[in-house]
Amino acid sequence: MWEHITPSSNGSITTLPLDAPLEQWPTKSRNIPLLRFEKVAADVAATDRFNRKDKQSAKRPNHRLVPQAEHWHWTREATDQPLEGLLPIVSPDLSMGELLDIAAINGIGVAVAIDAWSAKGLAKNDITYGEADTDWFITSKLFGPNEPPVYRTYGSFLGALNSNEQLNIERDQVMHERRIFGVILLDELLNMQWTQ
Q: What is the DSSP string of 85-150?
A: S---EE-TTS-HHHHHHHHHHHTSEEEEE--EEEETTPPPPSS---HHHHHTT-SGGGB-TTS-SS
Arithmetic mean of pLDDT, 118-139: 71
With both helix axes pointing from N to C terminus, report the angle between 96-106 and 186-195 in degrees, rounded to the nearest 10. Answer: 140
Residue 44 has pLDDT above 70, yes or no: no
Residues spanned by the domain of 34: 2-195
Q: How many CB atoms lie within 10 A of CB 107?
A: 7
Residue 130 has pLDDT above 70, yes or no: no
Exposure letters 139-160 (e unless 16+ CB within 10 A, then b): eeebbeeebeebbbbebbbebb
Name the residue among 21, 16, 22 with its Cα closest to residue 71: 16
Enumerate residues 6+ apart whose C-beta is below 8 A from 93: 1, 2, 153
68 vs 71: CA distance, rounded Å: 7
pLDDT tens readout for residues 88-127: 999 999 998 999 999 999 899 999 999 988 887 676 555 5
Which has more confidence, 9 or 104? 104
pLDDT tens readout for residues 145-191: 888 888 888 888 888 888 777 788 888 888 889 999 999 999 999 98
Residue 80 has pLDDT above 70, yes or no: yes
Confidence of residue 194 (pLDDT cuts 50, 70, 90): very low
Which of 49-58, 99-108, 121-130, 132-141 is most confident?
A: 99-108
Number of domains in the chain: 1
**Burial category of 122 from C-beta neighbours within 10 Å (exposed 0-12, middle 13-18, buried 19 and up):** buried
Q: How many CB atoms lie within 10 A of CB 73?
A: 17
Beta strands at 109-113 and 89-90: parallel, antiparallel or unpaired: parallel
Residue 196 has pLDDT above 70, yes or no: no
